[in-house]
Every structure is written in C-alpha cells, then in structure tokens.
Structure 1
Amino acid sequence: MNSRRRFLQQVSLTAGAFSASSLFNQLHAASIDSANQRVMGFTNEAIAADEDYWSVIQQAFTVNPNIINLNNGGVSPSPKVVQEAVERYNKLSNEGPSYYMWRILDQGREPLRHKLALLGGCDAEEIAINRNATEALNTVIFGMDLKAGDEVIGTKQDYPNMIQAWKQRALRDGIQYTQISFDFPIENDDNIVAAYEKAITPKTKVIHVTHIINWVGQIMPVQKIARMAHAHGIEVVCDSAHAFGLLDYKIPDLECDYLGTSLHKFLSAPIGSGMMYIRKEKIEKIWPLLCNGQPRSADIRKFETLGTRSFPIEQGIGEALNFHNAIGAKRKQERIHYLKKYWASKVKEVPGVRIHTSLKPEYSCAICGVSVDGLTPAELDGKLFEKYKIHTVSIVWENISCVRITPHVYTTLNDLDVLVNAITTIATAKK
C-alpha cells in the first residue's frame, strides 16, 4: 500500500510547476503574495525603489555572500525553488530513467510550452523548447533555404556565435554576409533603422538583429527594423537572448519572423535552457538542425528531436516562470533598470570614469559598460575582484572596450554601493 501511495505521489508530479502543489506555491507564494499586497496601488517606479519589497525577492536566492555577482548578463543564478525542482526531478528520473523520463516527465513539455507562449504573448504552436539562444538561432540560420548570392545583413556588434554561424553559411553555401557597425550608445531609433536600410541590396533576404546588444546593453528597435525590412520583402531573425524575462514585451509585437532566447539569463531558469519562436506560417520551410522524420512539417515539435535531454531542467523552467510571474514583468524590468541607473549615475560623475551605455530606459535596462581611463578592461575587472570580490566581465570586441556590469533582482543596494566605492577608489588612484 505504501509503495503504491508513493508511486501515485510520483506520478502526480507530472502536474509539476503548474499545479496547486507546485514547489513555488510551497516555498515562496505566500511571502511574495504578502509583499505584493503591501505595495498594491504603488506605481512600478515606486516599487522599484522599495527595498523592503525586494528584500523578500532576494531571500529566494542562494547566491554566495562572499562574491558580489554582477555578471548576470552571462548566466543568472536560479532562485532556490528552481534549483530544488531540478534536484527533485533528477532524483525521480534516476529511480527508473526510461520510465519516469519518457512516460512521466516528458508529458510536462506541453503545459510548459503553453506557459512560455503565454509569457511571450504568442501561440504555443510557435514555441520550441531547447537549450539556449545559440541552439535556437543556429536552427534558424542553418535551416533557411538560402542559396549562393543571397545576402544577410547583421552587425559587428552581434553575438559571436551568431556571427560565426552566418560566416559558416557563407563558406558552405556562398551566401553574402554583410556586417554594419554601430558606435553605441545611440539614443535615436531612426538612425539605427536607417543604417540597416542603407545596407540593403536587391539580394538581401534576411536581416539579423540583436534585441539587446550583449556587450553594452543597447536596446535595438526591433519592431521598427522589422517593419522596414518587411516593406522590402526581407525576413527578420531576432536574437533576444538578453531580453526575454527582462523586458516587458510580447514577441508578436516585435514583428520579427524568428526569435531565439536563453531562459537561464533574466528568467533565471535552470542553466542550459532556451526557447525558439517561429511565426506559424514560417515553420514548414525551416529545416530542423537535428534530424526529424518529417523535416518539412509545420509542427514546431520537429525542432525538439534532441534525443535524450534533461527533463529535470525542463520542469525547472516551469518554476522559474512561476517566480517571474509572481513578481510581474514590468515590475521586474523597472527594478533592474533602477539598479543599473543607481550605480551608473553615481560613477559617471567621477573624473576618469566613462559610461558606455545610455541610462534612458527606452535604450537600455540591466547591462551597462564602464571603463576607467588608463586601465584596460581586463585590469579594471581584475582590480574589482581582487580587492572587492566583485565579479564582472571585461569586454574587448570590435569598437567596444569596457567592463560589463549586470545586476539582477537579487542584487542589493549595498552591493552596488561597494561597486560605486570600488570604481571611485580605482579611478581616483589613477589620477
């Protein structure tokens, strides 16, 4: 009887993150709901500066207190509930892998697909679940029926994996890959759109646009670029790796044809989780990156023929969605922008310090580049960690040279005060 009861309990786990007994409901729902009730009627701007509210959110994370992690633009930590979900389903899987993985946990992908689509504001039949933005976008890049001479326009500031994918297509298939270049920050959407439009030729078939430039955090006007491109009969691929789970937007509003994102950044889903969006009418013509029995099918699931995958990670995504939705997309965006502006507006007044990112919310959110005159990015990055235990990342790419700073919802103002003091001290010592 006990073994049967335990079996039924395990099978009930298939409801997972979206059931009344989800781990989120058990661990965090009550405290976050209480915090939400307290700020009811407040503006998002007011909540962004309410440290009591965000202290509740911060308690859900297990980050190392001995390191100030300000490289969330690379990979963000997951809240405790997401970590426990992955561990819970991993243990279940190992009790009978082929049974629990393929017959039980595999059934959780469809509810997850619908929840991701709900957040993205699109049809669930346009969403495929995979491992990261690179996999999603490479699927599109290598799946397009482009022929020798067809042109793709991107930028020198796009993410390297996407640049290399297009270059590989150029080497393999003879397509023309053209890169334009920007000097960021730019606070004029029309100038950005005009630069893409000027590069268009009669052979241009695709424009590749990065939603948020990972190096310095510039938000690109994807919708305006897409409208311009479509007016010329050109398709648009959007790299939204840093935007999904950070910016409050719906995918169809971008008006792009294809989109890829990583869920382990600002959504704080398990490391190694991602998502691909393809407009429904475009699915049939894109070849899967990995083999599928019906490669010309209009079913988005043809892109999920990955073989054995991590089902626990997929279930963990669901708990990350619960956590994100409990806060609210707009509220979260406002808070993270507030954190970025908090430290950047202070250090930009320090002699010898340069900020490489707009502080206006329409042009940036979390990511901000900073440099100190007389120091290379690697030297500044090293000083921040060696003395202050602040983890950042140095950026030297094309015309960009800075240290990238990226806070997240668990980042405290005390952490950022340490950062401000560190940069001020380092810059003053260079005078």
Structure 2
Amino acid sequence: MKSQFLLDPSITFLNHGSFGACPKLVFKAYQDFQLELEADPVLFIQKKLPVYLKQAKAPLAAFIGCEKEDFFFTPNPTFAINTIMRSLKLQAGDEILSTNHEYGAMDRTWNFYCKNTGVKYIRQPITLPIISKQQILEEFWKGYTPKTKVVFINQISSATALIFPVKEICDHAKELGLITIIDGAHVPGHIDLNITQLNPDFYTGTLHKWMLAPKGSSFLYVKKEFQNSIDPLIVSWGYESVMPSDSQFLDYHEYQGTNDHSAYLCTPQVIQFLDENKWTLISKACKTIVQDNYQRFCNLLNTQPICPITDEFLGQMASIPVKTTQALALKELLYNTYKIQIPVMPLNDAVYIRYSINAYNTQEDLDVLYNALQDIIKTTDLISV
C-alpha cells in the first residue's frame, strides 16, 4: 500500500492526522482537473465547474450522511468556522460552551470573536485520564449556564486524539435550545459519520486528512433552518446574483471569486479509491495497531494512558503523554536525527506525542519510533522518565 502514496520513503511518516497523505491515483485526478482548467479557463469556470461540483457533491453527501444541497466545499475547517462566526447574532454576555481540548486555531477564532462582541468562550475542563463517556458528559455540562447559547466541540480532538460523545451532546443541546457547531476535522474517512443522525446545526470536516484527498478540501454542512442566515465569508457574484439558482445558500457560498476547485472536484475519485481498497477493513487493522502499541509507549515513557484503550475513545491515532519541557526541540530531534515525522504537542500544561497509523504504516514504523525514544531517553535530557 505504501507504494500507492507519494510520501518520501526515507521518512517514517506517523503524522497522517495533521494533513493526510494523498494516493497517486487521486493526485493524478487532481492534476487532470488542473490541466483541464488551464486548457480553457473561461469554459471551465463558467460552464464546466457548476456541473463538476454537483458531480463531486453527490457521492460525498452519501458518504457523510446528508443532502448535497446542505453543504458546500471549503479549503479547511478554519474557513468554515470563520464563516459561521461572522454570522452569529450573539449578544455581549452570551456564552459559547466548549472544552479545553479544542484545536488551537479554533480557540483563536472564538477568542477573536469574543474580543469584538463581548461574548464569552468557555473552555470547560475535561480531566484526564478519561474514565468513561459519562464522565465527559458530566464534566462538559457543568459549564452550562443560563447564558449559554452555543455549543462548540470537536468530535475528535487534535492534541489528545480523543473521540468525544458528540451525539449525546447534540441531543442534550437540542433539549436546551442551544445552537450546535461540530468540528469534525478528523472524522470523515476515520470513524463512521452520518451527519443527519448526529443532528448538529453546523458541521465541518476535512477530506484532505483521513479521506486522502489533495490538500485544501473540506466542507461545511448547515442545517436548512440556518442556511439563509449565514452570510458569505467572501462577498462575490453569488450574492444577489443576477442568475440565481434555487438555493441562495449555495449561491452565496459556492461562488466566491476565481479559485482552483480541483481538490474538491476529485472527490468521486477519492471515494472510489477508498471503496476499491476496502478501506473499512484497512481502517480496522490500523486501529488495532494503534491500540496494541498504546500501553507499550506509556510504559517506555513512564506515563499513563489518557483513556480506556478501546474503539469508544481511540481511532487511528493516539496521544502518549511525555514528560518534557521542550516539546519543539523533541519534535525537531525526532525529525532531523531519526527521520520521524510526528507531532509533539503541548496542551493544558501537558505534552503529547501523537502517532497516526494509516494504510501505508506498519508495526515496523512504530518500532522505529520506540527505538528512537529509547535512544533519546538514554542520551539526552529532553525526556524525563
């Protein structure tokens, strides 16, 4: 399987979770669209692009469990969340309930919004280690007050790689009359996703992580009742269009000036690649490798797992606590000396080494990491054990 990807073979690549890796066949489809665009840019953008977008959205809608009219492509989830942020009509003193496990760019987005509106962003602590799903739910809802108007939460956290009980949170949020915004950046192609069943008001996910699409391919789903209240992040020809479609929502958000949509357009080839390679089975095997090695690394680093080692909390990546005060130096050493591409991430006064496992990885890759960490413990003072 590794031969089907474009990754540098000299690197032990354990960081699929950050930006993914694109198969050669999918990348070829991506480049074919770019070549077709350059052959006749006017024809492509004005005539072919609307047709290609519909062809790309239909299989994705089936894959993520929603209607194709209820989402549009975005370059990344940060773009998507900024779109939502700019349209929220909250008042000073209102609260957005979140956790202290959110992605840093999202924290910054909400901090920006709050500084300009007087709204409060509540990073409710979820303590580690996780004992149970019920623990997460109880701790999360302790942050709820009569001023809470919005729930924002990641379905899979970035630094801690934990799967959160988003379905239960969405259900209870609905009972409380709250708006729900879900950051599912790590979800599509990683764990099962059916947006209709989750029933959030807003959901964003990437294709360029675990779905293996070219970089710069994500989506934003908006429930129908909110679609006409979401302003375009970029105002362009779709706004008050002289040739409107039957969806103001898509007019506003799908046509925001000249851009290269090729990463979006090869979505059918992405899903075909996953289907033809029986990705459900591959993903299951990857999750087994993740779980089988988790305690082993904790033992090496003299730390404890941050959750039960089960499918309920872990997918194809895991974060191992590491005792270091030099996270960046450790990451750089692993890459520069040992040729291992892996993130070392601080969060909430702790540091984690997060390994990702995908089809091109084997047990030998984790053995390379294990041996490198053994050597670093013996020869440097970067890690305390």
- Taking structure 1 as the reference length, the TM-score comes to 0.81
SS of residue matched to 1:313: helix
Correspondent of 1:325 among 253, 261, 275: 275
Q: What's the counterpart of residue 262 of structure 1?
A: 206
Which amino acid in the other structure matches residue 144 of structure 1?
Answer: L
Deviation, 1:401, is 1.0
The offset of 1:303, in angstroms, is 1.9
**Counterpart residue identity of residue 127, structure 1:** F
Q: Where does 1:229-268 land on structure 2 (aligned, <5 Å)? A: 229-268=173-212
**Mean Cα deviation higher: 115-124 or 331-340:** 331-340
Aligned residue for 1:285, secondary structure, equals coil
Specify the alignment match of 1:411 in structure 2: 361
Q: How many percent of aligned residue pairs carry the same amino acid?
A: 25
Q: 1:337 Cα shift?
A: 1.2
Partner of 1:202: 146
Secondary structure of the structure 2 residue equivalent to 1:74: helix
| Counterpart in the other structure of 1:24 | none
SS for the counterpart of 1:73 is helix
210-219 or 340-349: bigger deviation? 340-349
Change (3 A) 1:415 1:88: same
CA distance in 1, matches of 2:182, 2:128: 19
Partner of 1:369: 319
Contact 1:353 1:372 in 2 (8 A): yes
What amino acid sits opposite 1:404 in the alignment?
A: R
Q: Aligned to 2:249, which of 271, 274, 299?
A: 299
Distance 2:182 2:322 in 1: 32
User: How many angstroms does 1:370 deviate by?
Assistant: 2.5
1:42-61 correspondence to structure 2 within 5 Å: 57-61=1-5
Match of 1:140 in 2: 84
Q: Secondary structure at the match of 2:141?
A: helix
Aligned counterpart, 1:350: 300
Partner Cα distance (1:74, 1:152) in 2: 26
CA contact (8 A) 1:377 1:394 kept: yes
Match of 1:314 among 264, 283, 303: 264
In the alignment, which residue of structure 1 is the partner of 2:350? 400
**TM superposition shift of 1:148:** 2.4
Q: State the distance in 1 between where 2:211 and 2:10 align.
A: 24
Q: 1:116 to 1:202 in 2, by over 3 A?
A: same
Query: What's the CA shift for 1:269?
Result: 0.5
- In structure 2, the residue matched to 1:285 is 229
State the partner residue of 2:47: 103
Structure with bigger helix share is: 1
1:217-240: per-residue Cα shift (whole Å, max 9, x none)?
Answer: 011000111111111111110000
CA distance in 2: counterparts of 1:126 and 1:180, whole angstroms:
30
CA RMSD of aligned residues (A): 2.3
- Deviation of 1:126 after TM superposition, in Å, equals 1.1
Cα shift readout 1:179-202 (whole Å, capped 9, x = no counterpart):
212233413112211223222121
Q: Is 1:164 equivalent to 2:164 in the alignment? A: no
Compare CA radii of gyration and give the structure with the larger one: 1
SS at match of 2:149: strand
Q: Is residue 126 of structure 1 aligned with residue 126 of structure 2? A: no
CA distance in 1, matches of 2:324, 2:114: 39
Alignment match of 1:226 (pick from 161, 170, 184): 170
User: Is 1:360 matched up with 2:310?
Assistant: yes
Post-superposition CA distance 1:34-65 (Å, at most 9, x none):
xxxxxxxxxxxxxxxxxxxxxxx333212111
Q: 2:10, 2:303 → 1: CA distance?
A: 26
User: Shift in Å at residue 112 of structure 1?
Assistant: 1.1
Question: Does 156-165 or 217-226 show the bigger shift?
Answer: 156-165
Moved more, 368-377 or 188-197: 368-377
With 411-420 and 82-91 compared, the bigger mean Cα shift is at 411-420
Quote how far apart the aligned CAs of 1:361 are. Answer: 1.2
- Aligned residue for 1:299, secondary structure, equals helix
TM-score (norm 2): 0.90
Equivalent residues of 2:319, 2:353 under 8 A apart: yes
CA distance in 1, matches of 2:350, 2:203: 25
Separation in 2, partners of 1:122, 1:396: 35
- Over residues 399-424 of structure 1, what are the superposed CA-to-partner deviations in whole Å (9 max), with x where a residue is unaligned? 33122222222112222221222223
CA gap 1:373/1:176 in 2 versus in 1, 3 angstroms? closer
SS in 1 for 2:61: helix
Q: Do the aligned residues in 2 keep the contact of 1:76 with 1:265 (CA within 8 Å)?
A: yes
The answer for unaligned runs of 5 or more in structure 1 is 1-56
Match of 1:21 in 2: none
Three-state SS of the structure 1 residue aligned to 2:102 is coil
Say if 1:246 and 1:266, in contact at 8 Å, map to a contact too: yes
Distance, in Å, in 1 between the alignment partners of 2:118 and 2:327 is 37
How far apart are the structure 1 equivalents of 2:75 and 2:205? 9
Q: 2:161 aligns with which of 212, 217, 226?
A: 217
The unaligned stretches of length 5 or more in structure 2 are: 242-246
1:92 and 2:36 correspond: yes
Indicate the residue corresponding to 1:66 in structure 2.
10
Distance 1:332 1:138 in 2: 34
1:223, 1:254 within 8 Å by CA — same for their partners in 2? Answer: yes
Secondary structure, counterpart of 1:94 in structure 2: helix
Instruction: Tell me the SS of whatever aligns to 1:349.
Output: helix
**Could you tell me how far apart the structure 1 residues matched to 2:339 and 2:306 are?**
23
